Amino acid sequence: MSEFLSLALFLASAGIYAWKAGRNTWWFLATLLVLGIFIILNITLYASDYFTGDGINDAVLYTLTNSLTGAGVSKYILPGLGLVVALVLVFGALGWVLRRRRHHPHHMGYSLLALLLALGSVDASPAFHQITELVKSQSRDGDPDFAAYYKEPAKQIPAPKLNLVYIYGESLERTYFDNDAFPDLTPELGALKNQGLDFSHTAQLPGTDYTIAGMVASQCGIPLFAPFEGNASASVSSFFPHNICLGDILKNSGYENYFMQGANLRFAGKDVFLKSHGFDHLYGAEELKTTVADPAYRNDWGFYDDTVLDEVWKKFETLSRSGKRFSLFALTVDTHHPDGFISRTCTRKSYEVEGKTNQSFSAVTCSQQHIAALIEKIKASPYFKNTVIVVSSDHLAMKNTAWEALNKQDRNNLFFILRGDKPQQETIATRRNTMDNGATVLDILGGDNFIGLGRSTLSGQSLSEVFLNMKQKVLAWKPEIIRLWNFPKAINDFTIDEEKGMIAFSGTHFRLPLLLRVSDKRVEPLPESEYSAPLRFQLADFAPRDNFVWVDRCYKMGQLWSQPLALSTDWCVSQGQLGGEQKVQRVDKSQWQGKVAFRDTVIDTDRYKRNVDMLKIVDNDIRYKADSFVFNVAGAPEEVKQFSGISRPETWGRWSNAQLGKEVKIEYTQPLPEKFDLVITAKAYGPNANKPIPVRVGEMEQTLTLGNAVSTTTLHFDNPSRSNTLVIVPPDPQSTNEGNILGHSPRQLGIGMVEIKIVKAEG
């Protein structure tokens, strides 16, 4: 109902302004702004619902504020472009409509009425209600009984005997296994499910409805509710740092914990979660590409399920033979929305619904065959008697091409267990939820029968049985769960671990580089990631009086506030206010202790503007004082006018990049000497090694030869024409992701430059 009301108010506002309000620039802009907010809110709602089927929820908030590296976005490009085009057209049409009576006198009453109706349309929109509810849920007081139901398990299993194989099937909910609804869709895996302990009523709760959230729920017994500082989880060193999760217990009990998936581990911060809770051996798209048989055989997300599950089997055999206690977790991807992927080795490549092939169902019937084949191999091995196999969905399927058919059924998550030590065949219809999964597994392995809010279904009582309104109960506990992140509210002292590249304060660890906005009651961590702006650009948005602590490479702040550090790649700490004083300190110990001390200084508007302008200078336009071109810092020496064909700075120097220019070209502000030596410290990439590399100044050309290791070469140049340009032409640029930022397209590398120096020849 609110949807229709908000639309009616929107149309009424636009109509009244267009036909009654008349000409006034400020009223026009105000009305256009509010109506524009209405449009953006509803497009955001539509786009979110396209992914989640549940509008703007915690999954949207978390995913957008975390790492999107490795996301399979190609299937969303066309809908995304469609949304952009629609947005432009709608805004254009709205502006045209509102200006229809621009030649008529302005009418204050109708303008005010139109603006009030526009505000009403925003307030009545479901999107606004969902966002405000998310905001409120972050700050309201939690339900006081949370502590009574949140239980911390023992950190060890007293006498562990069994190894664990835990398979998360992407969106592989139990609903697919209903043979009456979907005949012969999951025969292989369905038969295995019926041979074990099958938990048939595993519900999905808020905060457990996307992959990383499903993993956190099943291993830590809590929903994944992230604070709005959730973008800091891109730099925070752990999820829920004080929680005891299944992986922690296994590691403390002598297990070596392994995790394998075909997608990139950094997507949604899975690597951070797993590393911080007991997993030392992680394999994703980046790690597997050197071990799989065919690295080019990939889908939008990464490696297909047949490839990944083959690697899981190899790892299972190796670990079992070693005699070590281990857990081996795996996550499939072929059944990912919107319609999944069909691997080349399954025999079940197609499934029809009402006489038409449905891609999502086809992906399910294919992927389940691969999972079943892996389980059959484990069962047939001599190691099965010491193994527990768990198969579960990470969450219910999101909006895919099977969505309509799924929603006609009673939907539940998949969770079944096959025990090699003690075969059990039973369908357990107890009401439960995915937070109970880890506790149930821990119970079987000989540990406690509870983790967090999760309870073992074999020997405990699920909170889904205790509370009939469990969804509402979880949402009431949300503020208490968010507090478990232990995000600091203050910073006084801090420690920088130079080797690990971490900063620790108030019981929390963050990865470097990091920018902190510090106020009396809040510390806001601002990380630098592949999808966020560089920290100096984020700092440029601070207000003149905002206190900041900025930990980064020295040259980034040295060029601003400490010239002696302008070429240093050590870690430095800067703190102060952009409109006040700034202090820069170099980290000169492996464990460096720092103290926050902001002075109450007079704010200087000119100083603030100067600092902001300097912070916003793009890397290639930065200039520093030096007698050579030092490539491991941003910018160039003052004597260089401009340069091209050179990639970003790395710790050792910079690569030439043919995508940015077929040749390395350095243009100096003044003509180069008539006679000079060019001293170049560099290395070659791949096949460029030991090949002649032309180096030109004016009409003179010399040849440079480099190996794969860094070396220094001196070339002698005569420059009678007083050219001011140096040109280096790498002979064989190679397209590669070597040293690249995850998620960025390959670079075409030729030579790696450490330093170039022009030395005027005497006489």
Cα separation, 624 vs 607, in Å, equals 20
CB contact set of 659 (below 8 Å; sequence gap of 6+): 745, 747, 748
pLDDT of 531 reads 52
pLDDT exceeds cutoff 50 at 231: no
Residue labelled with tokens 């961590």: 525
pLDDT exceeds cutoff 90 at 664: yes
Cα separation, 673 vs 760, in Å, equals 6
pLDDT digits 0-9 by tens, 429-466: 999 999 999 999 999 999 999 999 999 999 999 999 99
**Contact (CB, 8 A) for 22 and 107:** yes
**Contact (CB, 8 A) for 208 and 435:** yes
pLDDT digits 0-9 by tens, 139-150: 666 668 999 999
pLDDT digits 0-9 by tens, 17-52: 666 666 666 776 777 777 778 777 777 777 666 666
pLDDT of 62 reads 57
Range 722-737 average pLDDT: 93
pLDDT digits 0-9 by tens, 458-492: 999 999 999 989 999 999 998 899 888 877 888 99
80 versus 109: which is more confidently predicted? 109
pLDDT exceeds cutoff 50 at 73: no
Range 395-405 average pLDDT: 90
pLDDT exceeds cutoff 80 at 126: no
pLDDT digits 0-9 by tens, 691-701: 999 999 999 99
**Contact (CB, 8 A) for 694 and 728:** yes
pLDDT of 744 reads 64
DSSP labels, 586-655 = E--SSEEEEE-----PPP-HHHHHHHHHHHTS-GGG-EE--SSEETTSSSEETTEEEEESB----SS-EE
Average pLDDT, the chain: 87
pLDDT of 234 reads 46
Range 538-553 average pLDDT: 94
Residue 680: helix, strand or coil by DSSP? Answer: strand
pLDDT digits 0-9 by tens, 590-631: 999 999 988 878 888 999 999 999 999 998 999 999 999 999
Cα separation, 351 vs 146, in Å, equals 45
Structure tokens at 376: 């059959």
Range 279-291 average pLDDT: 91
Using the 8-state DSSP alphabet, how is residue 385 labeled? Answer: G
Cα separation, 702 vs 707, in Å, equals 17
Task: Identify the weakest region by mean pLDDT among 2-6, 206-210, 511-515, 733-737.
Answer: 2-6
**How would you write 610-625 as a 3-class SS string?**
HHHHHHCCCHHHCEEC
Domains in the chain, please, with CATH? 2-139 (no CATH), 167-483 (3.40.720.10), 493-617 (no CATH), 623-760 (2.60.120.430)
Range 313-342 average pLDDT: 95
pTM for the model: 0.71
pLDDT of 230 reads 45
**Beta-bridge mates of residue 675:** 718
Most confident of 123-132, 428-437, 530-539: 428-437
**Contact (CB, 8 A) for 256 and 511:** no
pLDDT digits 0-9 by tens, 271-282: 888 988 999 999
Cα separation, 601 vs 382, in Å, equals 73
pLDDT exceeds cutoff 80 at 529: no
**Amino acid in the structure at residue 125:** S
Cα separation, 600 vs 542, in Å, equals 17
Task: Identify the weakest region by mean pLDDT among 67-71, 115-119, 288-292, 605-609.
Answer: 67-71
Range 658-683 average pLDDT: 95
pLDDT of 54 reads 65
pLDDT of 102 reads 59
Percent residues over pLDDT 70 in the chain: 85
pLDDT digits 0-9 by tens, 631-645: 999 999 999 999 999
CA dihedral 456, 462, 463, 465 (to 10 degrees): -170
Cα separation, 438 vs 214, in Å, equals 11
Range 137-166 average pLDDT: 87
pLDDT band at 262 (very low <50, low <70, confident <90, very high): very high
